Amino acid sequence: MSIMEYNGSAVVAMKGNNCVAIAADKRLGQRQMTIDTDFQKVFPITERTYVGLAGLATDVKTLHDRFRMRVNLYKHREERVIEPKTFANLVSHMLYEHRFGSYFVEPVIAGLDKDDQPFICNMDNIGCIDLADNFIVSGTAGENLYGTCESLWEPGLEPEELFETISQALLNAVDRDSMSGWGAVVHIITPSGVITRELKSRMD
């Protein structure tokens, strides 16, 4: 089994009409055994930018700490809040620094820039950025997510519609993956604020 599949995860992000959504499952496992059903994989970086980390749990935690440190330093030095695109480039740089001994994580970044334009992207474990206009998937349920997102997503969804779409896409994808699931968290980022909801799913 690959190291990326040891803990299990599913992260997905979608673009909507002046909004973005990012969601992840809550399972933490050790191979087949589930050891936590409330494990956080999506973290706020600023009020309008979130990062979801799929992959090895220890690297998820460590990278979140490192991102927090770098972003706080940026905020204090530059006296401004980091934009999603800039943060994505920062993450890419940080990952590539470990090109030959990488973090086992595939991050997903979702946010609104200062002009309220939606931004989503993900990258591989060494920082290759993949920008998308529609949706971004990552984790052990990634392939499943591609299927559900492709069928359910359409452009121009409003925040509530986007919530329904991303929730259905995530829930149905993780139900076909033994390594992810056990509940989910969804964040909808809009110009007026972030709506966070927990989803009840099949608890297996």
Part of the chain binding another protein (CB under 8 A), chosen from 3-11, 36-44, 79-87, 186-194 = 79-87
Rounded Cα distance between 67 and 69, Å, is 5
Among 77, 100, 133, 204, binds another protein (CB under 8 A): 77
For residue 201, give the 3-state DSSP assignment: coil
Rounded Cα distance between 76 and 95, Å, is 23
HSE-up of residue 143 (Cα within 13 Å, Cβ side): 5
Among 18, 37, 62, 89, binds another protein (CB under 8 A): 89
Counting contacts by CB under 8 A, is residue 117 touching another protein? no
Counting contacts by CB under 8 A, is residue 76 touching another protein? no
Of 60 and 91, which has the nearer Cβ to another protein?
91
Of 97 and 198, which has the nearer Cβ to another protein?
97
Among 32, 76, 80, 204, binds another protein (CB under 8 A): 80
Residue in the structure block whose two tokens are 């997905």: 12
Counting contacts by CB under 8 A, is residue 90 touching another protein? yes
Size of the site for another protein (CB under 8 A): 9
Residue in the structure block whose two tokens are 């935690």: 61
Q: Provide long-range contacts, Cβ within 8 A and 24+ apart, for 156-163.
A: 156/16, 156/17, 157/14, 157/16, 157/17, 158/16, 158/17, 158/19, 159/16, 159/19, 159/21, 159/188, 159/190, 159/195, 161/16, 162/14, 162/16, 162/19, 162/21, 162/188, 163/21, 163/188, 163/195, 163/197
Part of the chain binding another protein (CB under 8 A), chosen from 8-16, 58-66, 73-81, 167-175 = 73-81
Of 93 and 99, which has the nearer Cβ to another protein?
93
Among 38, 47, 65, 78, binds another protein (CB under 8 A): 78
Contacts with another protein by CB under 8 A lie at 77-80, 85-86, 89-90, 93
